[in-house]
Amino acid sequence: MRANGRPGPSDGNLWRPMLTCRTLKAAYRFAGGAACFARQLFFNSTESDALKKATHLFAACALLVASTGLFAQNQLPGPFAPLQNVAQLSASAAVEVQQDLLSIAMTTTRDGSDAATVQNQLKLALEAALAEARKTAQPGLMDVRTGNFSLYPRHGKDGKISGWQGSTEMVLEGRDFARITAAAGKVQTLNLGNVGFALSREARARVEGDAQAQAIERFKAKAGEIARGFGFSGYTLREVAINANDQGPIRPRMMAMEAKAAMSDSAIPVEAGKSTVLVNVSGSVQMK
């Protein structure tokens, strides 16, 4: 410390921020002067004068590079200072729940020599199935919709079209398993294709809230343990990210009931599985 109370070169870190600010100001003034000098060099000088001034310009650039290196060696104050005593961590929680959505796809195929005939046969089979299913349809409990429809040619050995084949599909889906399976059993013009289960949006939101609360509590407990393990009394939250996903997607089951003779008016037996909703909390804390 100097006699006048101002920090000097021997004051270590107290001198370094002042040196940084002065270096910045000097570099800024030099940049402005260099720009003016360059304009004079190319527009107001003869060839010999330009060569001399170019030599001075190169020397000044070398000085600027040296001052920049000095600036880089000084520690930057405030928000540019390196982070200290920050811990990165994550915690998760999983909640298992019964799947409450059922989806049944019913299909049929037709083939023939004429495309229009095959298409009309598929149309009649689908319309009959839709009429039967709509008798017991109810929004949310059992929704009825059409699925895939395809019509494509069959080729012979000579490469020419030898016939046409097509397929159509109807899908029954909802939360009322008994209603859906009973409706599927009464459809006679389509065969059972596959059965799938899933978790409804409402059930997922409810379970996700429970899993999120558990994951947050585990994150807080883990952060406290880490802080105490390093000798700190507590922590403050710096940043956090929360992610959730469902680990139980629709599980399709192919059904061996392709023949019309295998269909009956009785309900189709089904059994749902379970989904696991996983929530992960990750982030960083400042130990203090």
CATH number at residue 261: 3.30.70
Average pLDDT estimate for 63-79: 50
Check pLDDT > 90 for residue 83. no
pLDDT in tens, 140-187: 999 999 999 999 999 988 889 999 999 999 999 999 999 999 999 999
- Asked which of 33, 61, 77 is the last residue of a domain, the reply is 77
Q: Are 263 and 128 within 8 A, CB to CB?
A: no
Within this chain, do residues 158 and 255 fall inside the same structural domain, yes or no?
A: yes
Within this chain, do residues 112 and 65 fall inside the same structural domain, yes or no?
A: no
Structure-token match 């070398």, residue found: 62
Mean pLDDT of the chain: 78
pLDDT of residue 2: 44
pLDDT of residue 223: 96
Structure-token match 């393990």, residue found: 229
Check pLDDT > 50 for residue 101. yes
* Residue 160 within any structural domain of the chain: yes
* Residue 244 within any structural domain of the chain: no
pLDDT of residue 5: 44
Residue 66, classed as helix, strand or coil, is helix
Rounded to two decimals, the pTM is: 0.57
Q: How far apart are CA 108 and CA 193, in angstroms?
A: 9
Q: Are 181 and 267 within 8 A, CB to CB?
A: yes
pLDDT of residue 27: 53
Strands (E), the chain: 86-98, 101-112, 143-155, 161-174, 191-198, 235-246, 253-254, 274-287
163, β-bridge pairs: 154
pLDDT of residue 17: 42
Within this chain, do residues 145 and 265 fall inside the same structural domain, yes or no?
A: yes
Average pLDDT estimate for 48-63: 54
Within this chain, do residues 119 and 161 fall inside the same structural domain, yes or no?
A: yes
* Residue 14 within any structural domain of the chain: yes
pLDDT of residue 167: 96
Lowest mean pLDDT, pick from 29-38, 77-86, 143-152, 275-284: 29-38
Within this chain, do residues 66 and 174 fall inside the same structural domain, yes or no?
A: no
* Residue 44 within any structural domain of the chain: yes
Average pLDDT estimate for 36-52: 53
Which amino acid is located at 220 in the chain?
A: K
Lowest mean pLDDT, pick from 31-40, 195-204, 231-240: 31-40
Within this chain, do residues 255 and 162 fall inside the same structural domain, yes or no?
A: yes
* Residue 119 within any structural domain of the chain: yes
Check pLDDT > 80 for residue 75. no
pLDDT of residue 143: 96
pLDDT of residue 265: 59
Within this chain, do residues 193 and 130 fall inside the same structural domain, yes or no?
A: yes
- Asked which of 45, 77, 109 is the last residue of a domain, the reply is 77
Within this chain, do residues 171 and 107 fall inside the same structural domain, yes or no?
A: yes
Within this chain, do residues 52 and 145 fall inside the same structural domain, yes or no?
A: no
* Residue 73 within any structural domain of the chain: yes
* Residue 187 within any structural domain of the chain: yes
Secondary structure string (H, E, C) spanning 206-274: HHHHHHHHHHHHHHHHHHHHHHHHCCCCCEEEEEEEEEEEECCCCCCEECCCCCHHHCCCCCCCCCCCE
Within this chain, do residues 109 and 189 fall inside the same structural domain, yes or no?
A: yes
Share of the chain above pLDDT 90, in %: 53
In this prediction, residue 270 has a pLDDT band, given cuts at 50, 70 and 90, of confident
Q: How far apart are CA 249 and CA 204, in angstroms?
A: 12
pLDDT of residue 10: 44
Q: How far apart are CA 2 and CA 17, in angstroms?
A: 17
Domain encompassing residue 30 = 9-77
Within this chain, do residues 30 and 107 fall inside the same structural domain, yes or no?
A: no
Q: How many domains does the chain have?
A: 2
- Tokens, residue 6: 């101002």
Share of the chain above pLDDT 70, in %: 64
Check pLDDT > 70 for residue 269. yes
* Residue 233 within any structural domain of the chain: no
- Tokens, residue 235: 């922590």
The conformational region for residue 56 under phi > 0 = left, psi -120 to 50 = alpha, else beta, is alpha
Within this chain, do residues 20 and 108 fall inside the same structural domain, yes or no?
A: no
Q: How far apart are CA 205 and CA 243, in angstroms?
A: 13
User: Can you state the angle between helices 15-43 and 47-73, rounded to 10 degrees?
Assistant: 160
